[in-house]
Amino acid sequence: MFGSWVKNTQHRNSDIDLAILSHQPLPGGLLATLREQLEESTIPYRVDVVDLSAASPEFQERVNREGIVWIDS
């Protein structure tokens, strides 16, 4: 998890930023399915999900520096 919710700077319209870290890029439709399920969920905030293994090195560094582990299983 990263972004405004981690920094405690969120506001009423802030989304929740999640990064999925895996050893290889997520399979094609998995990220789209996850986003769709989150969109249809009862979570009262928009959730933005990124595949960290497919992100730029600069973005990965930012998430690693600022982010927190939300679930580690």
Residue 24 has a pLDDT of 86
Domain ranges of the chain: 4-66
Bridge partners, residue 51, by sequence: 20
* pTM, 2 dp: 0.85
| Residue ranges of the chain with per-residue pLDDT less than 70 | 72-73
pLDDT digits (tens, 9 = 90+) for 51-63: 999 999 999 999 9
Residues 73 and 57: their CA atoms lie apart, in Å, by: 24
CA of residue 61 relative to chain centroid, distance: 14
The question of whether 72 is a catalytic residue gets the answer no
